[in-house]
Chains A and B, each alone.
Chain A
Amino acid sequence: MFNLQTMELEKLEGIATAVRRDILRMVAAVNSGHPGGSLGCTDFFVALYFDIMRRKTDENGNPIFDMDGHDEDLFFLSNGHISPVWYSVLARAGYFPLEELKTFRKLDSRLQGHPATAEHIPGVRIASGSLGQGLSVASGAAYAKKLNGDDKHVYVLMGDGEQQEGQIWEAAQFAPNKKLGNLTAIIDLNHAQIDGTTDNVNDNRDLGAKYRAFGWFVEEMNGNDMEEVIRTLRKAQEDPDVPTLILMHTEMGYGVDYMVGNYKWHGTAPNADQLQQALNGLPLSVGTTDY
């Protein structure tokens, strides 16, 4: 039976609050970026980097980043527009200095609007933003791990609007046929995309049934419940020949009351007053600071 220590859980939730504050301040500073999906996926990112993934570190516990990523778990972000949450979590996990978050979306920054490798930001292994490509890339990385006899795991996060891209379904067919049991794909199921709800724009219908039919092991979880996220991700690595797909139910804008469930916050930054209001509702816990 899964049992996360209360202390551990409180610590992760404290980090998640600090990350949510980073996201809001980052997008507000440049009046652009995508806060909605970033906030909704914050608990998942914190769970992944601070609990789930086996990452390479030096003797002081600081992360070591190399492009090949041999003998460590890998993460790919397919819906690259939620870069603020990833950058914040990478910085807080020690991949680069926290104050670098100030450069997000600015000229000469390593923190491009959408994740990229050209500026050599540690933690990022492929550019993403043009949707639908991450599942293929993660499948290739998982395939390479199998060829290399590397027993570590590959995770990839996708959006639910992104499921409308055709390439996703090419990859969805490929991964189970190649027995990529070392691959876990997560869909951020927040039912929102730029032009409205996913149901209205182009209904994805039953994604679980679709992936099951393609040969995936399908799980569901509440992506805004830290304990449930960790429990589900730990369970997801059981069958060596079957990739796992997790339908992660989240609320866009989670943690900021006026953003929750409103697709208008997909790609809109809060103004100064709205930012202050949001930060007031997310007090820092002991041991965390803003960038």
Chain B
Amino acid sequence: MKKYEYTDKKDTRSGFGAGIAELGKTHPNVIALTADLAGSLKLEAFIKEFPDRFIQCGIAEANMMGVSAGLTIGGKIPYATTFANFATGRVYDQIRQSIAYSNKNVKICASHAGLTLGEDGATHQILEDLGMMKMLPNMTVINPCDYNQTKAATIAIADHVGPVYLRFGRPVIPIFTPADQKFEIGKAWHVNEGDAVSIFCTGHLVWEAIKAGEMLSEQGIEADIINIHTIKPLDEEAILASVKKTGCAVSAEEHMINGGLGDSVAQVLARNYPAPLEYVGVHDTFGESGTPDQLMQKYGLTADKIVEQVKKVMARK
């Protein structure tokens, strides 16, 4: 197993904040919007530097999505920011008609996704957002794994013309990807070469997959670990190349199993190369209040759970 080390830990939302602040300097058409969550989305640096390009919408997410669509008509690149729950479920029809169907160049930037939002509980812990967004034609869906990857993705999506859903989170986690990386939309990142099992992981579960890979390696099992940061368009080539080598796979994500990354992987395998697949994700249930670590333990989104599913799927080969 390739060795991954980290010296620093940060939240992915801070990667977003740093990314958009940097982007402001190179892309004069980038506009930041928020619905009363400028601090939570780490927009302070952008606002300080570019006050005229910041639009505070107040607690009115539906209007924010429509205003963003309208801004693109004047050539702007709006980054509409709020919590993932309010960025998707609350405004699905606005996104569907005014952004996705109309193919507007809006970047929907969603923080506090999934269980790791923590103590606020299930009202705010959306676990269905990737599914909702990937079902929309024209929509690109990205779920980066650490501070550096989130920052790079934030910058990269400005040059992609079309609607994007960028999902990140609240907890402080290890920074293990390079600071100078170039983010390529739709191109999976090969975390580790192995031949026993494929692990397809995204978001906060990538670090868990690395820990699982180390545990498995100690037991003589080399996992082929692939970070699918772009849920749509999916890197089908990388998925198939890996499973043709390993013959089985586990998906890992902080999302509902229905409609998540694992579902997308299953479709690719079923159509092209049927192979056993097991899932690490949330099983048709809402979350609850607790610390991020407690919740990830309780709902089985951990390295231990990935190892368990690897054993299970390898037995099915």
Q: A144-B73, A148-B75 are in contact. Are A136 and B103 (CB under 8 A)?
A: no
Please tell me if the beta carbons of B97 and A133 are within 8 angstroms of each other in the complex: yes
Report A88 CB to chain B, min CB distance, Å.
22
How many of chain B's residues have a CB under 8 angstroms from any CB in A? Answer: 32
Which B residues touch A142, using CB under 8 A?
70
> Which of B15-23, B51-59, B123-131 is near enough to bind chain A?
B51-59
A198–B64 alpha-carbon span in the complex (Å) = 27
A67 on the B face (CB < 8 A): yes
Q: Mark A128-154, 1 if CB is under 8 A from B, else 0.
A: 111011111111111111011010000
Please tell me if the beta carbons of B73 and A125 are within 8 angstroms of each other in the complex: yes
A240 on the B face (CB < 8 A): no
Report A172 CB to chain B, min CB distance, Å.
9
Which B residues touch A67, using CB under 8 A?
73
Which A residues touch B75, using CB under 8 A?
68, 70, 144, 148
Q: Report which of A137, A147, A173 forms a contact with B76, defined as CB distance below 8 A.
A: A147
Please tell me if the beta carbons of B62 and A170 are within 8 angstroms of each other in the complex: yes
How many of chain A's residues have a CB under 8 angstroms from any CB in B? Answer: 38
A134–B96 alpha-carbon span in the complex (Å) = 14
For A137, give the chain B residue with the smallest CB separation.
Answer: B70
Which A residues touch B93, using CB under 8 A?
130
Please tell me if the beta carbons of A147 and B67 are within 8 angstroms of each other in the complex: no
For B33, give the chain A residue with the smallest CB separation.
Answer: A140
Please tell me if the beta carbons of B102 and A116 are within 8 angstroms of each other in the complex: yes
Report B37 CB to chain A, min CB distance, Å.
16
A32–B235 alpha-carbon span in the complex (Å) = 43
B291 on the A face (CB < 8 A): no
Q: Report which of B66, B69, B71, B76 forms a contact with A167, defined as CB distance below 8 A.
A: B66
A-contacting residues, B45-95, CB 8 Å = 52-53, 55, 57-58, 60, 62-76, 78, 93-94
Which B residues touch A116, using CB under 8 A?
101-102
B289 on the A face (CB < 8 A): no
Which B residues touch A134, using CB under 8 A?
66
A52 on the B face (CB < 8 A): no
B98 on the A face (CB < 8 A): yes
Please tell me if the beta carbons of A136 and B62 are within 8 angstroms of each other in the complex: yes
A27 on the B face (CB < 8 A): no
Which A residues touch B103, using CB under 8 A?
117-118
Please tell me if the beta carbons of B62 and A166 are within 8 angstroms of each other in the complex: yes
Please tell me if the beta carbons of A126 and B62 are within 8 angstroms of each other in the complex: no
For A76, give the chain B residue with the smallest CB separation.
Answer: B70
A-contacting residues, B103-147, CB 8 Å = 103-104
Please tell me if the beta carbons of A140 and B97 are within 8 angstroms of each other in the complex: no
Please tell me if the beta carbons of B63 and A170 are within 8 angstroms of each other in the complex: yes
A174 on the B face (CB < 8 A): yes
Please tell me if the beta carbons of B73 and A143 are within 8 angstroms of each other in the complex: no
Please tell me if the beta carbons of B76 and A126 are within 8 angstroms of each other in the complex: no
Q: A126-B69, A130-B93, A147-B74 are in contact. Are A137 and B58 (CB under 8 A)?
A: no
Q: Report which of A129, A140, A148, A167 forms a contact with B70, defined as CB distance below 8 A.
A: A140
Which B residues touch A148, using CB under 8 A?
74-75
Report A118 CB to chain B, min CB distance, Å.
7
For A139, give the chain B residue with the smallest CB separation.
Answer: B67
A142–B69 alpha-carbon span in the complex (Å) = 11
A133–B95 alpha-carbon span in the complex (Å) = 10
A207 on the B face (CB < 8 A): no
Which B residues touch A138, using CB under 8 A?
70
Q: A127-B102, A137-B66, A144-B70 are in contact. Are A167 and B94 (CB under 8 A)?
A: yes
Which B residues touch A137, using CB under 8 A?
66-67, 69-70, 73, 98
A171–B65 alpha-carbon span in the complex (Å) = 11
Please tell me if the beta carbons of A141 and B70 are within 8 angstroms of each other in the complex: yes
Which A residues touch B70, using CB under 8 A?
126, 136-144
Please tell me if the beta carbons of B68 and A140 are within 8 angstroms of each other in the complex: yes
Q: Report which of B62, B66, B72, B101 forms a contact with A118, defined as CB distance below 8 A.
A: B101
Please tell me if the beta carbons of B52 and A147 are within 8 angstroms of each other in the complex: yes
A184–B78 alpha-carbon span in the complex (Å) = 23
Most buried by B among A70, A130, A134, A174: A174
A196 on the B face (CB < 8 A): no
A69 on the B face (CB < 8 A): yes
For A154, give the chain B residue with the smallest CB separation.
Answer: B70
Interface residues of A (CB under 8 A from B): 67-70, 74, 116-118, 125-130, 132-145, 147-148, 150, 166-167, 170-171, 173-174, 178
